Amino acid sequence: MSIDLNGLSAKELDTLITQAKKRKTTLKKRKPVATVRAKLVAAAAAEGYSLAELFGAAARKSAGRPAKKAPARKGRKLGKVAPKYRNPANPKETWSGRGKQPLWMAAQVKKGKKPEDFLIKK
């Protein structure tokens, strides 16, 4: 987190410091996460439940056990696209204009050329 302190007035800085001290005091009063988690697990077990039954998948993640991964979804299949740009130094190298810019084109653009210079004329 980054706050630009240079743009704040003295009054705003004092307000920010006061809020930060209050937040710090609140955080110091809290018990460690492991202690609270152990109490929750014990209370749930005493009633015959598990944290997963009570809180779902979020409880598995926070209980230190790895959660089951969701099945990977395949992206939408896009059709092939005709090349839009061609490398003048090597005509076999082309680019459709989709995805990351190829290295040959990025190098030329960095040298000052424009992407329009590489357009394939139809």
Contact call for residues 83 and 104 (beta carbons, < 8 A): no
**Mean pLDDT, residues 100-122:** 91
Q: What end-to-end distance do the CA atoms of the chain give, in Å?
A: 50
A 10 A CB-CB count for 104 gives: 17
75 pLDDT tier (thresholds 50, 70, 90)? confident
Q: Which residues pair with 95 in a beta bridge?
A: 85
Q: Which letter, b or e, does each residue of 49-72 get, where b requires 16 or more Cβ atoms within 10 Å of its Cβ?
A: eebeeebeeebbeeeeeeeeeeee
User: Which residue did the predictor score with more confidence, 23 or 56?
Assistant: 23
What's the pLDDT score for residue 121?
Answer: 85
